[in-house]
A and B are shown apart, each in its own frame.
Chain A
Amino acid sequence: SQTIHQWPATLVQPVGSPLSLECTVEGTSNPNLYWYRQAAGRGLQLLFYSVGIGQISSEVPQNLSASRPQDRQFILSSKKLLLSDSGFYLCAWSDWNTEAFFGQGTRLTVV
């Protein structure tokens, strides 16, 4: 069966520090991969999605970047965090016609 792993679960980082959140998927090949952010009391905002290795689409201009070095690995990064980067980050994968499966999320607090 397919599973998705996202880590860490919580993270407190100082302003200006780098960020790396990792997401891996097991049990499937060539998944569509997504990174979302959810600010407090708000809906999910799509940050990046990827349909294949090295293929990244960015939805909103921001301080973050994403990479897909392997088929089932999706990484969210920042060189210098801002206070506004705080939020709940979710990784997800889907096939074109199956359900979307979500990781358990990373609570990022930038201080």
Chain B
Amino acid sequence: KNQVEQSPQSLIILEGKNCTLQCNYTVSPFSNLRWYKQDTGRGPVSLTIMTFSENTKSNGRYTATLDADTKQSSLHITASQLSDSASYICVVSWGNRGSTLGRLYFGRGTQLTVWP
């Protein structure tokens, strides 16, 4: 069964601290993995996208890693800011290259709260 599991479910950190969010998946065949940030009441916004051959992808203070062998990904946030408070969602795309049947599998997200 294709699934995406995220941990922790929620996390509270102090401003300026670093944190790491985890994503494990069983989606096969795997196409790519994306991390999204969703502010309350808004649509998710893409942070990073990684294909099978990519191990690390950075976007400012956000760094995503991917281990396709163990089917694990992490999102590391450095020097957290109050504006980082949001839900972070791991999304895995299913499907083979060239397939028009690709679809998305979503994790339930990690709710991050940054305190001053």
Q: How far is the CB of B101 from chain A (nearest CB, A)?
A: 6
Given A44-B89, A90-B43, A102-B43, A34–B104 Cβ distance below 8 Å? yes
Interface size on A, residues (CB 8 A): 28
Question: Chain A's nearest CB lies how many Å from the CB of B110?
Answer: 10
How many whole Å from A108's CB to the nearest CB in chain B?
12
Does residue B102 face the partner (Cβ distance < 8 Å to A)?
yes
> Shortest distance in angstroms between B50's beta carbon and chain A's nearest beta carbon?
11
B81 at the interface (CB under 8 A from A): no
Contact of A107 with B41 in the complex, beta carbons under 8 Å: yes
What residues of chain B lie closer than 8 Å to A6, measured between beta carbons? 43
Chain A, range 21-70, C-beta contacts under 8 Å to B: 30, 32, 34, 36, 42-44, 46, 49, 51-52
Chain B interface (Cβ < 8 Å from any Cβ of A):
31-32, 34, 36, 41-46, 49, 51, 89, 91, 93, 95, 97-104, 106-109
For the complex with contacts A94-B104, A100-B36, 10 further pairs of A-B residues with Cβ separation under 8 Å are A36-B106, A43-B108, A43-B109, A96-B93, A96-B102, A97-B93, A100-B46, A102-B45, A104-B42, A107-B41
